[in-house]
Chains A and B, each alone.
Chain A
Amino acid sequence: MSKKFSEVISSRIWCETPELDNPFAASSCVCCGYDVYNDLLKNARYSDYLYLLFKHKQPSAEQSALLEGLAIALANPGPRDHSVRAAMSAGVGGSTHASALIAALAVGAGNLGGAREVFTALEYWQHCHTDLDKWQQWIADPPQLGREDIWHPMEHAPGFDPNGISCPTPVKQTLAHLVEVGNSETLRWLQACRTQLEDFAGCPLAFSGVAAAVLYELEFLPQEAEMLFLLLRLPGAAIHSLEQERLGWRKYPFFGDGFKLTS
């Protein structure tokens, strides 16, 4: 007989049925109405399951293509990216593999090219939509919180690279692909207005900006977009950390001559 507990975990996402011989093991798991191991496992693509987890419904063909494209574009930011460098710094020192991912998450969480930038950019999309005048106004005069927060204020327009010169080819290629497969008015507008937005921002569109636009199109909330962006960039952090662990610290920059103590 099942015991009754006053304290429970409420979830509209996940439901379990116990095994007959063990109340602590599930015999079936249902996610947003779909049987995970009897249906999704056989029929769903990974990126579609991700969409289901966040949005609680099966994606359309266009939504599926958008998320699949974004996931590939973000999966490996490359070994020069701050978050991947953090993971590699764990790898070369022989740190735990979990610490490499924690390092990547911590560094990749920030306002510069990170998940918090995507969060903020999503707020811009929610406010400005595809209204160029509103974008110009918010970029020129960003909203103020009115009190200090653990996050530092943005130092550049969210979704744009303050250290960039022109929009990098991979960013343009990603946007062009997503326009092609996504049937998205939002992304078509971004592609058409990119250079004007870049003029407002004073710097080029970045991957964080493309990610924010895609996730706005997919009706993600800022906090959902922040989480997914963190998740999607972890594969690169993992494999580059493992690669540098294997190669060892002697083959990894220490910047031995680049450090200058000024006083």
Chain B
Amino acid sequence: MSVHSKLEKFEDNWRTSMGGWFPGDKVVLRGKDVFTEVNHSSWMEYLLFATTGKESPKIARLMEGMWVICTSFPDPRIWNNRVSALAGTARSTGALASAASVAVTEATLYGLKPIKGATDFLYRADQRLREGESLEQIIKSELKQHRSVYGYGRPIVEGDERVKPMMDFARSVGCDAGRYTKLAFEVGDYLSASRLKYQINIAAVCAGLLADQDLRPIDFYNLMILGFSAGAMPCFIDALQQQEGCFFPLRTSRLNYTGGEEVKHWRV
């Protein structure tokens, strides 16, 4: 009996309109010749086009500002950067350090989950407002269901020093606060006055700014994945240039053992 797998028609057959390399000839991205049609794009414009299909120097510039102001703090104590610093002190390679730091950036407390989550929340909240719910109802139901609202509250410190410089930059490139940005701050006002005292953090600000530019949660997520790399790389280089193994070394007494005192013997 012959049974055909669903996979058979895909064997040696990948069809795409996204783009490709024609060896020795040309490169095509979303229907455009890379060497002749997008060769003068900035790298961020290229990334925006590759990721979303949008051609917008303004959005690319806004995104670039986010990368500089919001996501690339060169501090090796920050967890994603710390991975690169550890790679440097352990004498690993820069690419491995960067790859690991980028992967670690897909975190819950910071980075990519709040970035995607905050954009998603603003779109959902806006929709529910249009359907007649109050902002208070929306926020309370979000907290009830998820116990948090992405884009609000922050570990280590309460306020977010990036909010003002980012808004200043956004205005400077012609991205004034639109509907979603205003909504982001209104949510922040509500939560900071609540018993939770959550203040708006940069994820909600950027989510609002990009939603106002018609970017979806997945767009913001895709565009920000590499945005943390410029913070990680200096941490790697710094650790690499110092004595090997000297990045915050830990003596054995820095381990606080909280397990039982009983010494056991393995049953053979």
List, in ascending order, chain A residues with CB within 8 A of B145's CB: 146-147
Stretch at the interface among A16-24, A69-77, A112-120: A16-24
> What total count of A-B pairs have CB within 8 Å?
134
Give the contacting residue for A262; candidates B15, B112, B117, B217; CB below 8 A. B15
Is B221 located at the chain interface by the 8 A CB criterion? Answer: yes
List, in ascending order, chain B residues with CB within 8 A of A10's CB: 256, 258
Which interface class (under 10, 10 to 19, 20 to 34, 35 or more) fits A?
Answer: 35 or more
List, in ascending order, chain B residues with CB within 8 A of A149's CB: 113, 116-117
List, in ascending order, chain A residues with CB within 8 A of B253's CB: 2-3, 5, 18, 23
Closest to B100 in A: A102
Q: How far is the CA of A102 from the CA of B98 in the complex (A)?
A: 12
Interface string of A1-36 (1 = CB under 8 A from B): 011010111111111111000011110001011110
Is B12 in contact with A8, judged by CB distance below 8 angstroms? Answer: no
Interface centre among B121, B259, B260 (most CB of A within 10 A): B259
Is A128 located at the chain interface by the 8 A CB criterion? Answer: no
Is B268 in contact with A259, judged by CB distance below 8 angstroms? Answer: no
Is A192 located at the chain interface by the 8 A CB criterion? Answer: no
Is A169 located at the chain interface by the 8 A CB criterion? Answer: no
Is B258 in contact with A259, judged by CB distance below 8 angstroms? Answer: no
Is B116 in contact with A148, judged by CB distance below 8 angstroms? Answer: yes
Give the contacting residue for A43; candidates B13, B218, B249, B266; CB below 8 A. B266
Closest to A17 in B: B252
Interface string of A46-68 (1 = CB under 8 A from B): 00000000001010000000000
Interface centre among A10, A15, A148 (most CB of B within 10 A): A148
List, in ascending order, chain A residues with CB within 8 A of B221's CB: 150
Is B217 in contact with A148, judged by CB distance below 8 angstroms? Answer: yes
- Given A18-B253, A163-B7, A258-B12, check contact A40 B266 (CB 8 Å): yes
Q: How far is the CA of A160 from the CA of B127 in the complex (A)?
A: 36
Is B259 in contact with A260, judged by CB distance below 8 angstroms? Answer: no
Closest 8 A-B residue pairs measured CB to CB? A258-B12, A15-B257, A148-B120, A12-B259, A33-B264, A23-B251, A16-B252, A8-B256
Residues of B within 8 A of A (CB): 3, 5-7, 11-17, 19-20, 28, 31, 92-93, 95-96, 99-100, 103, 106, 112-113, 116-117, 120-121, 124, 142, 145-146, 150, 217-218, 221, 249-260, 262-268
Given contacts A13-B259, A34-B264, A165-B3, 7 further A-B contacts (CB under 8 A): A9-B255, A12-B258, A24-B251, A58-B266, A147-B142, A150-B106, A258-B13
